[in-house]
Structure 1
Amino acid sequence: MSSSSPSRRRFLAAAAAGLAAGALAAGPARALDPTFNSGGLAIQGYDPVAYFTDGKPVRGKPEFTHDFAGAAWRFASAANREAFAAEPERYAPQYGGYCAWAVSQGYTASTDPAAWRIEDGKLYLNYSKSVQSRWAEDIPGNITKADANWPGLKGGN
């Protein structure tokens, strides 16, 4: 089939129309949620304040909820909810609760509430405990890289 034959032109026109239709159907890229959440629930329902006060992950209760940064946050007590509401940036995990290691590598990933660490007064979560051990090999370097990457990831760039 020559490049100028009618059947070749029809094939190319059909292919171009199919590509255009596919692009329209795909729509724009989905923006990154400001807070990693599952069904609108941050940290899978764990209390972010408890990491600081109890030194461990504690599941929050539905009756102690506060909305912040596009997600519902649960707390183990009304006191923890009030502490968070007064200073959410103090207690919310860094990078919107996405995996700190992944953000340091330039992408986002979910987190396991049991894979956590407080470093310099900030809460960091990781995808898993094995990923957390990789992140812990160079915490200051990984935080520096993640801090540099986060604005672009958060903005959808």
Structure 2
Amino acid sequence: MTLLKRFTAAALLLLLTTTAAFAASPINTLEKSGLFGGYEPTGIALHGYDTVAYFTESKPVEGSDQFTTQWQEATWKFASQEHLDLFTGNPEKYAPQYGGYCAYGVAQDSLVKIEVDNWSIVDGKLYLNYDDKLQGKWEQDIPKFISDADQKFEGLLSAE
């Protein structure tokens, strides 16, 4: 086997095994890394954005290192003590569905990172998506995608 083929095979194996290892985390903390353009877990939920702000301010707001808590093996950041208190009082109410993975992706059998600007609140629950294109697909049949994702999410976590 040539050196290039060995390197390519090793790189592909590394990419596949690291993606699988990270995908099983119950909370999405994936951030883009320099290594092969892949994603690595940072331990920080929602790229450091305040999950409560989606509900109280109807927009993504950056969290602060001053207001943090640990929940479900991830660090959650908040813009204020009030938001931190709301979250710690009822994290299930404010945490995004499917651990913050792309809701459309979960409905399609994939655990995918998100962008904080692609979101919706449906029946009091926060759903995030990968990008504008998938957000548009998500919006075409939200009830169906929620039903599909609800059935698949736990299996996706345990399959890894």
Q: TM-score, normalised by structure 1?
A: 0.80
Instruction: Give SS of 1:106's match.
Output: coil
* Greater C-alpha radius of gyration: 1
Deviations 1:20-61 (A, max 9, x none): xx9xxx7xx626111000411100000000000000000000
Match of 1:32 among 2, 18, 24: 24
Whole-Å Cα distance in 1 between the matches of residues 102 and 58 of structure 2?
Answer: 19
AA of the residue aligned to 2:64: K
Match of 1:60 in 2: 63
Instruction: Give SS of 2:52's match.
Output: helix
Q: What pairs up with 1:7-46 in 2 under 5 angstroms?
A: 30=21, 32-38=24-30, 39-46=42-49
AA of the residue aligned to 2:119: W
Match of 2:78 in 1: 75
Deviations 1:71-120 (A, max 9, x none): 00000000100100010000000000000000000111000011000000
Match of 1:139 among 133, 137, 142: 142
Whole-Å Cα distance in 2 between the matches of residues 64 and 91 of structure 1?
Answer: 15
Give the Å deviation of 1:151.
1.3
Give the Å deviation of 1:156.
2.5
AA of the residue aligned to 1:68: W
Whole-Å Cα distance in 2 between the matches of residues 155 and 43 of structure 1?
Answer: 22
Check if 1:92 corresponds to 2:95: yes
Check if 1:119 corresponds to 2:111: no
Unaligned runs of 5+ in 1: 1-21
Match of 1:50 in 2: 53
CA RMSD of aligned residues (A): 1.5
Give the Å deviation of 1:155.
1.7
Instruction: Give SS of 2:141's match.
Output: helix
Identity of aligned residues (%): 45
Whole-Å Cα distance in 2 between the matches of residues 126 and 55 of structure 1?
Answer: 16
Q: TM-score, normalised by structure 2?
A: 0.78
Match of 1:110 among 109, 113, 135: 113
Count of residues paired in the alignment: 131
Instruction: Give SS of 1:133's match.
Output: helix
